[in-house]
Amino acid sequence: MGWERLRSVRLTWLLPAMALVVWAAVIALPAVQTYWTLRAIGVQGKNATVTVGAFHGTILAENFWPFAVNEAVVTHSHALSAIAMPGALVEMPLTVALTNPSLWYPKQLDEWTWSLLETPLYCLPAWCLVGLGIEGLVGWRRVRWPLLLVGTVAWATFVFMLGEYLWGWMLPGHAVEGWVVAGFGLWIMLLGVLPAAWVRQVLRGRWEWEGEVGM
């Protein structure tokens, strides 16, 4: 009964939901905490004078929220970029396609901060693919080959991009960013379940066919 209940869980939807929870924990909670700290400093709607790292200045009361969000994003920018790396592959072409990107993000935030905020949303389809691949790999469901093809191409793309990045590191004057390598490695591992699920389905189909022939 427990196994059947476990099989009924759709990882295709559970993983994206978990990704959003992590996004909220990394961005929303620290931003709310910073906002209320600024509210406490600037009593009765007054401005707040703060020192954060190398920054020292006065934050206007109407800028408490933008400052809080920006501080949370900057603090976790590398982790956000690594976890949502597939989303960047969607976000960058959209940014290039738009003639004036400044028209579609809030004026209170700069373009880089808004990009890091929305990239995890573009990454949700990738999490769906990973969930689908896991379901296919463990044999819970049979995944259609077009989805397996998309996932396999995405996996191969990340392998190629990591190889190209490391190859560039060997050139003079280049250095490797650990978070970039970690991001590529994470998604190569996650997307790797799709080609693995494809191989499993092919082998399982062959075994079933051979069993039918043997009978």
Q: Of the candidates 82, 97, 122, which is a domain's last residue? A: 122
What pLDDT is recorded for position 26?
A: 86
What pLDDT is recorded for position 195?
A: 94
What pLDDT is recorded for position 196?
A: 93
Task: Give, as one character, the DSSP assignment of residue 104.
Answer: G
CA 115/CA 91 separation, integer angstroms? 8
Given 3-state DSSP classes, what are the helix, strand and coil percentages for the chain, each rounded to the nearest 5?
75, 5, 20
Q: Of the candidates 122, 150, 170, which is a domain's last residue? A: 122
Provide the domain count of the chain: 2
What pLDDT is recorded for position 205?
A: 65
**Cβ neighbours around 5 below 10 Å, total:** 8
CA 196/CA 57 separation, integer angstroms? 53
Q: Do 101 and 183 have their domain in common?
A: no
Q: Do 52 and 79 have their domain in common?
A: yes
Q: Of the candidates 75, 102, 122, which is a domain's last residue? A: 122
What pLDDT is recorded for position 160?
A: 94
Domain membership of residue 174 as a residue range:
125-214
Q: Do 26 and 84 have their domain in common?
A: yes
Q: Do 84 and 97 have their domain in common?
A: yes
Q: Do 101 and 186 have their domain in common?
A: no
Q: Which residues in the chain land under pLDDT 70?
A: 1-9, 42-45, 50-56, 95-107, 169-174, 205-215
pTM of the shown model = 0.77
Lookup: tokens for 12: 């295709």
Q: Do 105 and 144 have their domain in common?
A: no
Q: Do 110 and 134 have their domain in common?
A: no
